A = this chain, B = another copy of it.
Amino acid sequence: MKAGIVGATGYGGAELLRILHSHPEFQVGALYTSSQQGEAIHNHYPHLTENFPQALEEINPVQMAKEMDVIFLAVPSGIASKLAPQILDEGCAVVDLSGDFRLKNSADYEDWYHKKAGPEEWIEKAVYSLPELNRASIKGARFISNPGCYPTATLLGLAPLIKEELLVEGSIIVDAKSGVSGAGQSPSLGTIYSELNENLKIYKVNEHQHIPEIEQMLKVMGYSSPITFQTHLVPMTRGIMATIYGSIETNITENDLWNLYAEYYRDEPFVRVRGKGKFPATKEVAASNYCDIGVAFDERTKRATIVSVIDNLMKGAAGQAIQNANIMFGFEETTGLNFSPVYP
């Protein structure tokens, strides 16, 4: 299968290239960017020297669709809404890593992204694809909307509790923390080293565009009240931790909770529930497609604390995109993703 990468010079694009370099089924057919056309990717990313000899090409949706079997859109929000329909119209499959087709309600998109939403027709057709939650609908899809990084960590952390309807309505608080690579490679005062090193920041307080994405999926799963969700920038490059709080009125023990999670994720290749009383750290999933989870229940407050970690560029972006593409095309789900985290 020939895969084309749009936005190859971004961090999401580079991570797709790293994975595809060792993927037995997909071959990188072409690299597309909005600038630097004609150059080799290793002029921009020397770490890719020799592995990708193709010159960067300009973005031409119709042409791309003709030459490739699948196009990965690793582009900022607001771009994919224009590209995807043209590529799909030509019959080529699309995996969109941006936020453009995640929200089914266009008004929500415009409220939270402050941009114009894409065409309704394609928003409806896009399959929001978090394999551990809706694997069946991904198989055979042609248009994948890849979940956001925070929603992936949060929804995998919440799913067993939601399914069992254990959480008190209105009690979910997610305190999320991310490494800096999620901000991408565009320089800004907010992302320079001297501003972020030895520093911890909260940002987009009550305004993060991933809030409606999480709430939309929670609603599908049966939980309908709004959540509190705050995001922090941690001085590290990769990694997301969602510390999730929720009240449980049912009579339950920490042991029950742990069993629920262990059982729920028993057969999932990319979700690892830590042992009782143990909690994952972000580096334990670095550069891998794992989501690691730990659970606790406090008798004093009747509140569960769920800790869910992923690598934002892997399970939070490129890794999950490949996982989705594997399912879409009928390959073994772990193909090309079955490698160990890098530690330390």
Contact = CB atoms under 8 A, between A and B. Distances in A.
A183 to B, nearest CB: 8
Given A21-B339, A343-B45, A298 B11 contact: no
A176 to B, nearest CB: 10
A235 interface: yes
Interface in A45-60: 45-51
A76 interface: no
Contact of A236 (B11, B191, B235): B235
A227 interface: yes
Nearest to A282: B200
B230 A305 contact: yes
A287 B18 CA distance: 12
A18 B340 contact: yes
Interface residues of A, number: 84
Contact of A232 (B47, B177, B205): B177
A232 B234 CA distance: 11
A88 interface: no
Given A191-B192, A193-B180, A280 B241 contact: no
Q: How many copies does the complex hold?
A: 4
A194 B197 CA distance: 10
A18 to B, nearest CB: 4
A30 to B, nearest CB: 18
A40 to B, nearest CB: 10
Contacts of A191: 187, 192-194
Interface string A289-302: 00010101010110
Interface in A225-240: 226-228, 230, 232, 234-239
A91 to B, nearest CB: 31
A223 interface: no
Interface stretch (A96-104, A121-129, A131-139, A271-279): A271-279
Nearest to A51: B340
B303 A228 contact: yes
B227 A301 contact: yes
Interface string A321-344: 000000000000000001111111
A14 B200 contact: no
13 contacts: A18-B342, A46-B274, A46-B281, A47-B286, A47-B340, A197-B235, A198-B238, A200-B309, A201-B282, A206-B300, A206-B305, A232-B243, A235-B236
State the 8 A-B residue pairs at the shortest beta-carbon distance, nearest first. A187-B187, A175-B175, A199-B283, A47-B284, A194-B344, A47-B341, A201-B281, A18-B340
Interface of A: 11, 14, 17-18, 21-22, 45-51, 170, 173, 175, 177, 179-181, 183, 185, 187-189, 191-203, 205-206, 226-228, 230, 232, 234-239, 241, 243, 245, 272, 274, 278-288, 292, 294, 296, 298, 300-301, 303, 305, 307, 309, 338-344
